[in-house]
Copies of this chain bind each other. A is one copy, B any other.
Amino acid sequence: MSDRLPQTLARLRAVVGDGGWIDDPAAMAPFLEEQRGRYRGRAAAVVAPASTDEVARVLALCNEARLGVVPQGGNTGLCGGAVAAEGQIILSLRRMRRIRALDARNRTLTAEAGCILADVQSAAAAAGRLFPLSLAAEGSCQIGGNLATNAGGTNALRYGVARDLTLGIEVVLADGSVWDGLSTLKKDNTGYDLRDLFIGSEGTLGVITAATLRLFPRPGDVQTALLALDDVDRALAVLDRLQDASDGRVNACELMGAMSVAFAVRHVAGCRAPFATLPPWLLLVEISGGRAVDELRPLFEATLAEALQAGEIADAVLAESRAQAQAFWRLRESIPEAQKFEGGSIKHDVSVPVSAVPAFLRRAGAAVEAALPGVRVCPFGHLGDGNIHFNVSQPIGADRAAFLAEWERCNRIVHDIVAELGGSFSAEHGIGRLKRDALRRYKSPVAVEAMRRIKQALDPNGILNPGALL
């Protein structure tokens, strides 16, 4: 292979032209950096095709030459899924950023893989529709990457994850053949569900070049509240009550432990909790719908009053304005950033059945504190999906590097508890290169074997994202 590398690179360069070719080390650097600094990428070149046809020709050449290809979107992933190695190329989709079609009546939008998520949201909004996928990196992540990793985010409770929001995809397979699966159909039972197989496969089975996405009515009213809870068990009762009362129109139900909120208030400008004393748990809830502003307000107020009456919540503050609602969200969204000021943080992106969240928090909290005395447990996340970002900050004054050296041990403790509760060690961030060991440990061997066989069937030369996922 290595003998033919220069020759293959020259042929690839001829396909994409100078505008799609980067091999200068300084210019390649942003494509090689990995967000959390856990990996150092390398690559023979960054190749950025401008069309599906160019992607097909690039893959055909790489397949012939057995050259490893690491597809990359906005490079915002958290599990090292887009990290290339020596002698591989990065296939960047950034030049494919056209919105190909929008059918407001069919409620579909067709976007190329390199479209920035926020631009997809804007295109939908301009047509009077909502594209509900929303996550912290939305200003720079690309829709192709969102699909390759089956992104979740804060609205998944109501609208589902990326897979649920997609009707069709266009994919280039390892051998360069193109599957035009850009269906805009709600129903189509003509064979195996290839779409959902490629979605979430982290670029190991094919390269998604475009997708047909589902659009929704734009709600006329959004109601947001911050709730104070003495006890996390009661959060489930509040959520249930809100879901029943609003007929499933709860967009988000975000749980925040007191420590997480304290960090945000301490370190991030503009963050404050609207309670005189910080309660053990805060819940950020949002419902939306209807045609008119304040249409849902009476329902929201009445339901929260019932929850207060029933002792499920200790206090509630309803946002009185869009600005106040944004301030509530800022508190939630500042948590990961705020943790950086408190030293090292060991991360977990886990899910358990929603009904098991309180048991998980109790057990994992106790186990981690026993194993790593003095640590500060900072759980937060998507309660409604059972998806908790169970982050653990180092003890005050401890050595950062020494604490981070406990990463694997801490993960193991938490993931063992998650497994006992029927949960997942990677709820929304995927496997990438970071969680392959966990996959082997926790995933059913029957499932892993089936995955291996599918990988072998669709990418027999193993050129697609080598070293990721499996």
| A187 CB contact (under 8 Å) in B178, B191, B194, B385 | B385
With A197-B193, A247-B249, A422-B183: A188-B427 Cβ-Cβ less than 8 Å: yes
User: Is A145 close to B, CB under 8 A?
Assistant: no
Residues of B with C-beta under 8 A to A384: 186
User: Is A164 close to B, CB under 8 A?
Assistant: yes
With A217-B243, A248-B216: A188-B351 Cβ-Cβ less than 8 Å: yes
Q: How far is the CB of A155 from chain B (nearest CB, A)?
A: 12
A441-459 contacts to B, CB under 8 A, are 442-444, 446-451, 453-454, 456-458
A185 to B424 Cα, complex, angstroms: 8
A152 to B422 Cα, complex, angstroms: 29
A42 to B186 Cα, complex, angstroms: 36
Contact A193 B199, beta carbon cutoff 8 Å: yes
A177 to B444 Cα, complex, angstroms: 11
Contact A187 B105, beta carbon cutoff 8 Å: no
Residues of B with C-beta under 8 A to A156: 186-187
A358-390 contacts to B, CB under 8 A, are 382, 384-387
User: Is A425 close to B, CB under 8 A?
Assistant: yes
User: Is A353 close to B, CB under 8 A?
Assistant: yes
Residues of B with C-beta under 8 A to A439: 190-191
Q: How far is the CB of A102 from chain B (nearest CB, A)?
A: 11
| A444 CB contact (under 8 Å) in B179, B185, B428 | B179
Q: How far is the CB of A108 from chain B (nearest CB, A)?
A: 7
User: Is A228 close to B, CB under 8 A?
Assistant: no
Copies in the complex: 2
| A448 CB contact (under 8 Å) in B185, B191, B201 | B191
A420-470 contacts to B, CB under 8 A, are 422-431, 435, 439, 442-444, 446-451, 453-454, 456-458, 469-470
A382 to B423 Cα, complex, angstroms: 37
User: Is A410 close to B, CB under 8 A?
Assistant: no
Size of A's binding interface in residues, CB under 8 A: 90
Residues of B with C-beta under 8 A to A164: 164
A443 to B355 Cα, complex, angstroms: 42
Residues of B with C-beta under 8 A to A444: 179-181
Contact B185 A451, beta carbon cutoff 8 Å: no
Contact B430 A189, beta carbon cutoff 8 Å: yes
Residues of B with C-beta under 8 A to A245: 291
A201 to B103 Cα, complex, angstroms: 30
A351 to B352 Cα, complex, angstroms: 37
Residues of B with C-beta under 8 A to A183: 422, 424
| A427 CB contact (under 8 Å) in B108, B185, B193, B430 | B185
With A217-B243, A353-B106, A446-B178: A428-B149 Cβ-Cβ less than 8 Å: no
Extra contacts besides A187-B424, A189-B426, A192-B451 (4): CB < 8 Å: A180-B446, A191-B431, A192-B450, A450-B458
14 contacts between A and B (CB under 8 A): A157-B186, A177-B449, A178-B446, A185-B423, A185-B424, A187-B382, A188-B426, A190-B439, A191-B451, A193-B199, A194-B451, A196-B196, A453-B458, A454-B457
